[in-house]
Amino acid sequence: MSEPVPSPQRFALTLAYDGGPFNGWARQPGLPSVQEAIESALAVVSRQELRVVVAGRTDTGVHASGQVLHVDLDAAAQAKVGVRDGAEPVEVTLVRRLNAVLARSTGRAVLIHSARPVPPGFDARFSALWRSYTYTIADGERRWDPLRRGDTLFHARALDVDAMQAELDSLLGLHDFLSFCKPREEATTVRELQGGEVVRGEDGLVRVHLRADAFCHHMVRTIVGALVAVGEGREPSGWVGRRLGERTRDAKTKMVAGHALVLTGVGYPDDEVAGARAKATRAKRAAL
């Protein structure tokens, strides 16, 4: 009787990337993507064609400092990853070898911070409890710094941070964010905005911090666009909350540029309940 084939080991990887050279996270024919860069690097170190699952797909030009993905490595792939490096755990060798390949293929635009083995039920997307993003704005030419042009929006008009915070407060909670999303077929636009803050840092830059259970397509950039409209006085106080209630996309729906947006983190439950969280999230999305 043949011995049973062991199940693949799932690994969760935390990574960062400069979104400037890429046409977003997801693979697209003939265009560079973060997903393609990582899966190509995995093919080099594992000698297998592997697919990854990411916590949140980012748009063209959007950056990440705390993105998370998962990938399954069978025994053969783990052996290839760990070749000549048996003295250290596979996850340590995996990070080191992936970063060596990515340094050559992307010019260090993508960096793997860490890897860890997780239970088979863990899902980088569906197990997540929250995602957080930060959007950075330099309002007024005196704050524009050419060295920050790749991750900061240069905005000509001064912004009222307190007015923007008041508008953001009206969005907190569970709502249908259709007015701030690009709907996808058979996908819900109901999300829970769990936290939000608009602050002006010691460097004078305005930063919008948002955290939600998940974000629908273009949601962060459209929310920031609406906050800017009130912050510069183009729209009156209370306009953002009214837009939320209208549940419509029209000419007033404006997005800010993607290059000033960073996915800063993803939160997960403990490993022993990550699988249950993934099942519950899938069931909830299906019901909606």
**Would you say the C-alpha torsion 143, 144, 146, 148 has a positive or negative sign?**
positive
Q: Which two tokens stand for residue 24?
A: 């977003």
Whether 59 and 73 have beta carbons less than 8 Å apart is answered as no
Tokens of 107: 């010019």
Gyration radius of the chain's alpha carbons: 21
> Is residue 140 left, alpha or beta, with left meaning phi > 0 and alpha meaning psi from -120 to 50?
left
Indicate which residue of 59, 123, 139, 151 is catalytic.
59
Q: What is the DSSP string of 2-30?
A: PPPPPPPEEEEEEEEE--TTSS-SS-BTT
Q: How many helices (H) and strands (E) does the chain have?
A: 7, 10
Angle between helical axes of 161-169 and 239-246 (0-180°, round to 10): 30
Residue the block writes with tokens 């995602």 = 131
Under DSSP, is residue 242 helix (H, G, I), strand (E, B) or coil? Answer: helix
If we measure between CA atoms, which residue out of 80, 77, 57 comes closest to residue 67? 57
Q: Which residues are CB-contacts of 88 (< 8 A; sequence separation ≥ 6)?
A: 82
Catalytic (active site) residue 213: no
Q: Read off the tokens for 287.
A: 């019901």
Tokens matching residue 70: 């998962």
158: Cβ contacts below 8 Å, ≥ 6 apart: 139, 140, 232
Non-local CB neighbours of 119 within 8 Å, separated by 6+ positions: 10, 271, 272, 274, 275
Please identify every residue annotated as catalytic. 59
